[in-house]
Amino acid sequence: MIRIFLIFLSLLSILNANALQSAIDKAPSGSILKLPAGVYKGSIVIKKPLTIIGKEDGVVIDGEGNGTVIKIESSFVTLKNLKIVGSGEFTHTLDAAISIINAKQCEVSDCVIDDCLFGIDMQMVSNSIIGNNRITSKDFDLGLRGDGLRLWYSNDNVVKRNKLIKSRDMVVWYSHGNLIEENYGEHNRYSLHFMYAGKNIVKNNTYKYNSVGIFFMYSQDTIATGNVIQSSLGATGMGIGLKDVSNFTIKDNTVIYCAQGLYIDRSPFEPNTHNWIEGNHVLYNAEALHFHSLSENNVIKNNAVMGNIEDIVNDSRGSKTNENEIVGNYWDNYAGFDRDGDNVGDTPHKVYQYADQLWVYNPDVKFFYGSPVISLLNFLAKLAPFSEPVFLLEDKEPKVKLEG
């Protein structure tokens, strides 16, 4: 039978000893510790199934600038309604608010994490819930902060409705079968970064003012749907990136106000595989689709490409952009007609690379991008080409009107 321990501690006793650690050590396995408001000394370790709940607002666990504030080394541990502050500052020891190692069926929910280098560090954790937490790193330069949420060899977890503000990255490395849903990221580096991960679902997240929204690397069999990526910062600010990934579904996402909307690099990677890029809204970016290296066998269908400076950029001559299946998209600069009214253009939409895209192969030329000189070169190249333009892609059934 689970016993409920109510801890009533005076501020004096907290200052003189780690009363919370003592209570944890004395509590039988499976106990629930309900903490009243107050400041509790951190650097605690939990090695048994246990629940710690802040029974009211104002429960603070303070690491006092040393190491990790709470270490969980057991399965079936729950932390709820706590404010966790003051981890150490060392990246090589992964100083964090919460560290969970080699555990399953744990839960961290409704917690506020502030002034901690790393937020929640999960190593070899499965079937656990990370929900409705607010995580902020230390007030360091972006690259010196720790990751707000880090999954490493951690599978089948639910990460839902968390807010990562002014952290570094949320990373999912060597981790499979996770649901990442309805999270929010702002003023981070990578809001979400995957590497060697598969069969994850990334759903209905919102990421704003980060360097990169979502970047997938060396991964496969993942679905990303319903996400909103807005205003990725910097000259190379990226919405969604795909590098060496296969069997991905990128569907019904909105990418808006970024330098690069969708970045595709050597994807799909595995032979005889595809990626499906369907139903997305790629709006008002500097570049809508940016292809790098060999990228063929993508299925790009029913997307809305509107208001971008460049619809297609190919920065490497061997990327074979024309060998992707591109059909049924809406292109706001399509110049054809729809005489039978079926909302399909009577002629294909073809995209070429003209003189105004000289900057793609020579970054020094980009200084003149948008200038009257480059615009004039582009006009003359289309009017009377002095060299054959590079054919990038053809949409044989372009939509004439934006649906939905």
Q: Which fold has domain 1-188?
A: Pectate Lyase C-like (2.160.20)
pLDDT tens sequence across 214-259: 999 999 999 999 999 999 988 789 999 999 999 999 999 999 999 9
Confidence of residue 393 (pLDDT cuts 50, 70, 90): confident
Distance (Å) of CA 276 to CA 134, 325, 338: 33, 10, 27
Whether cis (ω within 30° of 0) applies to the bond prior to 268 is yes
The arithmetic mean of pLDDT across residues 116-132, rounded, is 98
Measure Cα distances from 197 to 108, 248, 268, 269 in Å: 22, 12, 15, 14
Query: For the chain, which residues make up each domain, given as ranges?
Result: 1-188, 203-354+389-404
**What is the average pLDDT value for the chain, to the nearest integer?**
89
Q: Which amino acid is at 320?
A: K
* pLDDT per residue as tens digits for the range 348-392: 999 887 654 554 545 555 555 556 655 665 566 555 555 566 778
Find residue 393's DSSP bridge partners. Answer: 351
Q: What is the pLDDT of residue 263?
A: 96
Q: Give the tens place of pLDDT for each residue, 317-359.
A: 666 788 899 999 999 999 899 999 899 999 999 988 765 455 4
- Cβ–Cβ < 8 Å for 242, 277: no
Q: What stretch of H or E contains 208?
A: strand 206-208
Residue type, 148: G
Whole-number Å distance between alpha carbons of 353 and 342? 29
Which pLDDT does position 385 carry in this prediction?
Answer: 57
Asked whether the beta carbons of 111 and 133 are under 8 A apart, the reply is yes
Between CA 50 and CA 144 the distance in angstroms is 33
In this predicted model, what pLDDT tens digit does every residue of 164-179 receive, in sequence order?
A: 999 999 999 999 999 9
Q: What is the pLDDT of residues 35-50, one digit of tens each?
A: 999 999 999 999 999 9
Threshold 0.85, pTM exceeds: yes
Residue 309 confidence (pLDDT): 86
Given a contact cutoff of 8 angstroms between Cβ atoms, the answer to whether 300 and 275 are in contact is: no
Please name the amino acid found at residue 246.
S
